[in-house]
Amino acid sequence: MTLSIRIIPCLDVANGRVVKGVNFINLIDAGDPVEMANFYYNEGADEITFLDISASNGERATTIKIVEQTAAQVFIPLTVGGGIRSVSDVDRLLRAGADKVSVNTAALERPNLINEIAEKFGSQVLVLSVDTRSRADGAGYEVTTHGGRKTAKIDALNWIKEAITRGVGEILLNSMDADGTKTGFDIKMIKKVREIAEVPIIVSGGAGRVSDFTDAVKVGANALLAASVFHFGEIRIADVKIAMKNAGYPTRQIQSNP
């Protein structure tokens, strides 16, 4: 009788296609986000996240269709992030079948976007996605944009605190230092964020081994998000769940979906 640790695969989508890090052998079309979401649903994923990295509004319209098709067959929570700039963007996605949305750059540019979304739909639909990096002078963590290439000149912990006060219901913590390294999640930073965040924390960036997942839970992660290790079949969701169970952390039992 305890809340399970969630394991969340993330799919980067542009113009209706999964765009990177995909190398499935069992799928007919590894670039089809609907098919991949379905695959992960059957693999025992606890949620699915789509990150829309489309370059144009025209491409983004395609994402709505993908969300609709996914929601028709995948009966677990679906979070969509990328390019969300207004309450009407959120409304469109929720109506299409998304359960949660994540905001990042647009909220940095106009923090009141958080209040507007939370007031209209409730905090439970809103995830703050934060791309963090250790400051060059070693004084904590800063928020970055453009995939870690630019600094937003804001302290990450302050921004997270502010966003929670404004109404986000969950934090997606992406470590730009750990991302792609496969040397584990950013344990130090997770600890710091856990101290100040009274909402669930999803951690992302750096997963390489199953023990990385349990290490992050040990310091307070409530959910773990990964992309390439799952897409390349290096780690299966079931492997993570077994490791969790062995470490004494609760996970949802995987049942076969109809």
Partner 1 sequence: MIAILDYGSGNIRSAERAFATTGLPVVVTRNPKVCEDALGLVIPGVGAFASCMAGFLAVDGASILKSRIEKSRPILGICVGMQILFHVGTENGATKGLEIWPGEVSLIDNEILPHMGWNSVQAPANSNLFRGVEAADFYFVHSYAAKTAVSGALNAFTEYGETFLSAVETSHISATQFHPEKSGAAGLKLIANWAATL
Check residue 157 for interaction with partner 1 (CB under 8 A).
no
Rule CB under 8 A: choose which of 15, 27, 120, 180 binds partner 1: 120
Q: Which residues contact 153 (CB under 8 A, 6 or more apart)?
A: 142
Does position 4 interact with partner 1 (CB under 8 A)? The reply is: yes
Determine what percent of the chain falls in helix, strand and coil, rounding each to the nearest 5.
40, 20, 40
Stretch that binds partner 1, among 24-32, 57-65, 118-126, 210-218 (CB under 8 A): 118-126
Of 52, 131, 179, 212, the active-site residue reads 131
Helix (H) or strand (E) holding 105: helix 105-109
Closest CA to 131 of 64, 77, 186: 186
Q: Which stretch binds partner 1 (CB under 8 A): 56-64, 115-123, 206-214, 224-232?
A: 115-123
Q: Are 129 and 104 in contact (CB under 8 A)?
A: yes
Residue 143 phi/psi, 5° resolution?
Answer: -90, 140
For partner 1, what does the binding mask look like between residues 69 and 98, x meaning CB under 8 A? --xxx-xxx-------------x--xxxxx
Instruction: Give catalytic residue positions.
Output: 12, 131
**Which residues are near partner 1 by CB under 8 A?**
1-6, 41, 46, 68, 71-73, 75-77, 91, 94-99, 120-125, 169-170, 198-200, 222-223, 252-253, 255-258
